[in-house]
Amino acid sequence: MNHLLVVLVVFSPLVGFLINGILGKKLPEKLSGALGTLAVLISFVSSILLWNHVSIHGGFETVLFNWLAIDTLVLDFGFRVDALSIWMMLIISGIGTLIHLYSIGYMHGDKGFSRFFAYLNLFVFSMFLLVMGNNLVVLFFGWEGVGLCSYLLIGFWYHNVAYGHAARKAFIMNRIGDLGLLLGIFLIFKVFGTLHLATIAELASANLVQPQIINWITFLLFIGAMGKSAQIPLFTWLPDAMAGPTPVSALIHAATMVTAGIYLVVRNANLYQIATLTTQIILIIGLATSILAALIGLYQNDIKKVLAYSTVSQLGLMFVALGVGAYSTAMFHLTTHAFFKALLFLGAGSVIHAMGGEQNISFMGGLKNKIKTTHITFLIGTLAIIGFPLFSGFFSKDEILEKVFEYSPIAWGFTLFSAALTAIYMLRLYFVVFLGNFRGSETQKANLHESPISMTLPLMILALLSLFGGVLNLPHFLPENMSQFLSHWIASIPSMQFMAPSSHEHHLSQTIIFGLMGLAIVLVLVLLFLVYRFYASRQFNILPNQSRFSKLGENKFFVDEIYNHLFVKQIESRSEFLYKVFEKKAVKPFIMLFPRIFGQLGKVFQRVQDGNVENYLLYFVLGIISFILLILL
Amino acid sequence: MDLIGYENYFWLSTALFSIGILGILIRRNMIILLMCIEIMLNAANLMFIAFAYKWGNMDGHIFVFFSMLVAAAEAAVGLALMVLIYRKFKTVDISYLDKLKF
């Protein structure tokens, strides 16, 4: 039964992909969209049934078939369903279903409608492989699969050359990270002699391996996570990935795929527990990414770009939590972020839909009364992400702040700064888009309309989740049976018992904890007031900002230009040298020597073939005679 | 038969075969060519018989019957072709028959 459910979860999106991919053009739009959504819905229902099983009997593994066996390397195509993977499965299939539903409305009338659903289903399938694989190779298979789907979907409107370039950029930057992950997997196999995740976790807790090697392994895995989860230095692909259709940005580049890096670290938490050096690196990179991306987000005028930088920044916060060893906290923020960021992206999609494709927020404004459902849900998403009290983001962000404070007050200061920046750029976005006067063209104003129900329904469901998502992991000072649900849940995996809140001693006194929480609340409220006053004084317009720093922010701190200069130009000049000197002067003349020799030989021997049968006969007889002579002599 | 050693048959057969080949190489008259082919064929037949005699085996005789039969058919077809060619081109010189060459 469980085996069947696992197969159903994983393969129903694959079947959806095959049907839409092969028959797509012949299917009517409605059927195509319904099939794609149904495939993910089946996964979601099966995941809920599996959740039920896991909560009673604990996790289990199931093997589909033996994949390959080379000497000591025995690989099964097996799946692991435990507290951690079922959590991810529910997020993927749940939010995935909503976004598929939304896409039916959003992609209506697009020429590649069925292709879009085929890709989305393939993505969901790969994502399931990633989070459910019981060994690192199945995980890697899924990891590459989601990378491919990300590439295909960013470049979905491939007629636009710039979109194609964005897709390639995402793919190539991910490859750099993948190389790190692959090397990490190799090193794990060399050190532990197995790729089975549960066995690795067991061996890692036995403390048999030198910490230095563990540091290397975890660092290499983290490089993979950097690529997929868009951390410094591999973060520049994610904002460009906004070239894809908005549901893609919501599903792949906000809620699920980019969190694969977090999942990878949490899944190997037993390794990261020992790797003190790597976790420090993770903390620093997470903080730096979070602040840098937030600063860039402050100066962007494209609604999707702001959200993209916000995603990078929030992912940075999750890595901060991982860096201080708060794995379940990172999972908590991952979950709430999946809710509110998917909501914000879908809301942005609805705004773009209403504006007839316009993405620049300086042409929006005053949309509050025009698209009411979108406005209210977007407002809920904004309040959730800035950590307004009792919204889901408040609980997760506060837990991160508390864990970081426990680790180091200085890091806490930076994290708080990043959280404050989040509040500023998100409020700016909200105020400029929804308040004030409409600044677009007259035709846009006449055509403003609320999106169809298939688009607003997912918005409402996600808004509810963003509102109440906090109950998944309420603060630990509340009574035990209602707080810290997620932490207890993940700690139910035997190898991850150390994440249980009870085993974790609280160094902080109650006063400090409440003080920190109060500080965060006051900060958010003050910022809300200040940002409102700032934009109200300008009638909620964006005025061109002439300061030097804002120019830096608008140009994304020139990170792309620096990379271009450091890497791309260097490789290009070397390639050109090799082409002009090595290829043209050495390789080509040498290779061309052979055709020339045989050409000349051919010219000599073609005279023999003159078409005269008697001559052929003569050669034939001469040949026989020479053979006979050869034998006789 | 005993009076003449079988080696002599080999030499005779070889000589006939060589004469046939030489004829094909140097002559242009199609009737002569057909005759040369017949000579070569019969040289081979002679070799079959000689070996059959040498090894005391009847297989060679069987082969000769077959090849004689085929040779008769071949001569009939070949001569008929030649008659037709002569009617059309008024010559049996093979070097003039190059219409299919390109």
Cα–Cα separations (whole angstroms), residue A247 to A97, A304, B21: 11, 11, 86
Q: How many CB pairs under 8 A join A and B?
A: 8
Query: What are the chain B neighbours of A610 within 8 Å (beta carbons)?
Result: none
pLDDT tens track for A327-379: 999 999 999 999 999 999 999 999 998 888 888 888 888 888 888 899 999 99
Query: What are the chain B neighbours of A614 within 8 Å (beta carbons)?
Result: 25
Candidate from A81-90, A492-501, B9-18 with smallest mean pLDDT: A492-501
- Kindly state whether A611 is in contact with chain B, defined as any CB-CB distance less than 8 angstroms: yes
d(CA A257, CA A261): 8
Residue-level pLDDT at A502: 62
- Kindly state whether A617 is in contact with chain B, defined as any CB-CB distance less than 8 angstroms: yes
The arithmetic mean of pLDDT across residues A410-418, rounded, is 93
Residue written as token pair 């050693």? B5
Separation of CA A451 from chain center: 27
The arithmetic mean of pLDDT across residues A401-420, rounded, is 92
Nearest CA in chain B to A618: B25
Angle at A434 between CA A163 and CA A415, to 5 degrees: 75
Q: What percent of chain A has pLDDT over 70?
A: 99
Residue-level pLDDT at A132: 94
DSSP 8-state class, residue A389:
T
Residue-level pLDDT at B2: 60
d(CA A105, CA A32): 12
- Is A321's pLDDT higher than 90? yes
Q: Which residues contact A150 (CB under 8 A, 6 or more apart)?
A: A123, A170, A171, A174, A241, A252, A253, A257
Residue-level pLDDT at A492: 85
- Is A503's pLDDT higher than 60? no
Name the pTM for this structure: 0.80
DSSP per residue, A475-516 = -TTS-TTTS-HHHHHHHTSGGGGGG-TTTS---S-HHHHHHH
The arithmetic mean of pLDDT across residues A378-396, rounded, is 92
Q: CB neighbours (10 Å) of residue A520?
A: 20
- Is A206's pLDDT higher than 90? no
Residue-level pLDDT at A478: 76
Residue-level pLDDT at A336: 94
Axis crossing angle, helix A136-154 with helix A197-205, rounded to the nearest 10: 120
Q: CB neighbours (10 Å) of residue A601?
A: 10
First vs last C-alpha separation in chain B: 53
**A388 φ, ψ to 5°?**
-65, 135
**Per-residue confidence band for A450, with pLDDT thresholds at 50, 70 and 90:** confident
d(CA A291, CA A298): 11
Query: What are the chain A neighbours of B21 within 8 Å (beta carbons)?
Result: 621
- Kindly state whether B90 is in contact with chain A, defined as any CB-CB distance less than 8 angstroms: no
Please list the residues that pair with A62 across neighbouring strands: A79
Cα–Cα separations (whole angstroms), residue A372 to A203, A375, A459: 55, 5, 12
pLDDT tens track for B39-91: 999 999 999 998 888 888 888 899 999 999 999 999 999 999 999 999 988 88
The interface residues of chain B toward chain A in range 2-31, judged by CB-CB distance below 8 A, are 21, 24-25
Strands A60-70 and A73-81: antiparallel
Q: Which of A220, A92, A126, A111 is nearest to A156 (CA)?
A: A111
- Is A12's pLDDT higher than 90? yes
Work out the minimum CA distance from B25 to partner chain A, whole angstroms: 6
Q: How many CA atoms lie within 13 A of B17 on its CB side?
A: 15
Candidate from A457-471, A574-588, A610-624 with smallest mean pLDDT: A610-624
Domain map (residue ranges) of chain A: 275-547, 561-632
Cβ pair A155, A289 in contact under 8 A: no
- Is A144's pLDDT higher than 60? yes
Residue-level pLDDT at B98: 74
DSSP per residue, A546-570 = -SHHHHHHHTGGGHHHHHIIIIIHH
Report all structural domains of chain B as residue ranges with CATH numbers, in order of start: 6-91 (1.10.287.3510)
Cβ of B25 within 8 Å of Cβ of A611? The answer is no
Candidate from A120-124, A260-264, A364-368, A409-413 with smallest mean pLDDT: A364-368
Supply the mean pLDDT for chain A: 89
Cβ pair B33, B94 in contact under 8 A: yes
Cβ pair A428, A298 in contact under 8 A: yes
Query: What are the chain B neighbours of A611 within 8 Å (beta carbons)?
Result: 101-102
Cβ of A621 within 8 Å of Cβ of B101? The answer is no
Q: Which of A96, A83, A95 is nearest to A132 (CA)?
A: A83
Element (H or E) spanning A62, and its range? strand A60-70
Higher pLDDT, A528 or A441: A528
The arithmetic mean of pLDDT across residues A71-80, rounded, is 88
